Amino acid sequence: MRTVSALALSSAFLLALAVLSPLPAKSQDVPGARYNAAQRLEFPANYREWIFLSAGRGMTYGPAADPNGPPQFDNVFVHPAAYRHFTKTGRWPEQSIFILEIRKAQSEGSINKGGQFQTDVTAVEVLVKDSKRFADTKGWGFFEFGTNRQPAAKLPPTASCYDCHAKNAAVEHTFVQFYPTLLPVATAHKTMKASAAH
Amino acid sequence: MRTVSALALSSAFLLALAVLSPLPAKSQDVPGARYNAAQRLEFPANYREWIFLSAGRGMTYGPAADPNGPPQFDNVFVHPAAYRHFTKTGRWPEQSIFILEIRKAQSEGSINKGGQFQTDVTAVEVLVKDSKRFADTKGWGFFEFGTNRQPAAKLPPTASCYDCHAKNAAVEHTFVQFYPTLLPVATAHKTMKASAAH
């Protein structure tokens, strides 16, 4: 009976495991990048629940920069799993995914009579680190989503973003020099390129 | 032996429960507002992992607005539990906690030659909804944290923020009119004051 009891114990434990585990997947626990059968990136619909890195306005180097148009805001988000890894190591793990969201700026509205606040989205750009999938572009893939937010193919290696990020981004392909909470992390871990300081 | 086996089973199940549950508390599952023995609000150290609502620049109505100084950025964050409740109801639950973070703006740096990006924090303001604790200020409490981030007492009812938020904020005491992802939620749930539209 000892054998049977041990088996029963074991079964009960496995049952408990089955009931209680794996933990229910939360948005921040699942990979941020999903691809359809045609290998196009699905729009990461819940990116506004990821970690905010910073916002700028009218920055001149971005893909949406338009010297003839009114300055817009840009917001940058990163998947929580990638953020947590970076805060510990100063480096980005495989599958890291970043969002650059561009929004219109409005000056007067409600009680605000000066400065600018954010309104409608005008563009969403996505950057993913995946050394195997994007081997032909140094392990990083850029994507642009239109207003219809349909799955997007990776931008070709000739797109200007690849060369600009490779040359100017502070840590790997990311502009950590503009993310004030990550800059000290990269500095402490000595993962920032010296050329990117400001 | 059946009884013993059943007991063993039960014990194993409880052991499994003890090992696997309760789920480890994550930052987003715990209340965002904590008070010390003197009823001062502890600085919410992990607020940068909360939900970003929006960023503005040089807005004129904020507590840090300085018409004579260079325009600064403001970032607004809300605790994830409050955010999730709002997206379903258009209203803020008790214990909702909001952060207004003010940062300096820098124009030239690294490859950026125009516009502005964010650098150092200059002020952090906190707003908490708690009908019982803040009954003397309509259920909402404002707090200012200095650079030392020591626990802060609630600002007195005479502080200008109470009157301004009560009069001008779109939903309860919050400026949802400036938060582009929440504005359609409040509109759909008809929780926005008509006077706050822009």
Q: Which of A82-91, A107-116, B82-91 has the lowest mean pLDDT?
A: A107-116
**pLDDT confidence bin for A26, thresholds 50/70/90:** very low
Computed over every residue of chain B, the mean pLDDT equals 83
Give pLDDT tens digits for A57-105: 987 666 555 666 788 999 999 999 999 999 999 999 999 999 999 999 9
> B127 — phi, psi (to 5°)?
-125, 130
Nearest-by-Cβ selection for B110 from A48, A73, A177: A177
What pLDDT does residue A38 have?
95
- Determine, for residues A118 and B180 on separate chains, whether the beta-carbon distance falls below 8 Å: yes
* Cβ contacts of B55 on chain A, cutoff 8 Å: 55, 73, 75, 118
CATH of A26-192, one of 3.50.70.20, 1.10.10.10, 1.10.4190.10, 3.40.630.30: 3.50.70.20
Query: C-alpha distances in angstroms, B109 versus A54, A98, A192, B147?
Result: 15, 22, 15, 25
* Cβ contacts of B46 on chain A, cutoff 8 Å: none
The shortest C-alpha distance from B178 to chain A (Å) reads 7
* Cβ contacts of A1 on chain B, cutoff 8 Å: 1, 5
Q: CB–CB of B196/B178 below 8 Å? A: no
ipTM of the complex, rounded to two decimals? 0.81
Q: What is the DSSP string of A42-80?
A: PP-TTGGGSEEEEEEES-SSSTT--TTSPP-EEEEEE-H
Give pLDDT tens digits for B75-85: 999 999 999 99
Nearest-by-Cβ selection for B177 from A49, A80, A110: A110
Percent above pLDDT 70 for chain B: 76
Residue of A nearest to B195 (CA): A110
Contacts of A73 (CB under 8 A, 6+ apart): A55, A56, A57, A102, A103, A104, A105, A116, A118, B55, B57
What pLDDT does residue A32 have?
77
pLDDT of residue A147 exceeding 90: no
Nearest-by-Cβ selection for B48 from A56, A75, A181: A181
Encoded tokens for B134? 């803040």
The shortest C-alpha distance from B91 to chain A (Å) reads 18
Computed over every residue of chain A, the mean pLDDT equals 83
pLDDT of residue B134 exceeding 80: yes
Average pLDDT over every residue of B104-132: 88
Alpha carbons B147 and B141: distance in angstroms, whole number: 20
What pLDDT does residue B62 have?
60
Average pLDDT over every residue of B44-60: 92
What pLDDT does residue B172 have?
96
Interface test with B, best of A9, A47, A52 (most B CBs within 10 A): A52
Residue of A nearest to B59 (CA): A115
What pLDDT does residue A115 have?
85
What pLDDT does residue A138 have?
96
What pLDDT does residue B58 have?
85
Q: CB–CB of B74/B102 below 8 Å? A: yes
To the nearest 10 degrees (0 to 180), the angle between helices A2-20 and B2-20 is 30
What pLDDT does residue B88 have?
96
pLDDT of residue A153 exceeding 50: yes
CATH class of B25-155: alpha beta
* Cβ contacts of B104 on chain A, cutoff 8 Å: none
Residue of A nearest to B197 (CA): A110
What pLDDT does residue B146 have?
80
Interface test with B, best of A68, A118, A174 (most B CBs within 10 A): A118
Give pLDDT tens digits for A126-144: 999 999 999 999 999 999 9
What pLDDT does residue A61 have?
61
Query: C-alpha distances in angstroms, B53 versus A52, A54, B101?
Result: 9, 12, 12
- The residues spanned by each domain of chain A are 26-192
Q: CB–CB of B90/B185 below 8 Å? A: yes
Please give the interface size between A and B, counted as residue pairs whose CB atoms are below 8 Å apart: 168
Nearest-by-Cβ selection for B59 from A49, A60, A112: A112
Residue of B nearest to A54 (CA): B118
What pLDDT does residue A34 have?
93
B117: β partners: B106
Percent above pLDDT 90 for chain A: 68
Nearest-by-Cβ selection for B60 from A51, A58, A114: A114
Q: CB–CB of B129/B173 below 8 Å? A: yes
What pLDDT does residue A198 have?
61
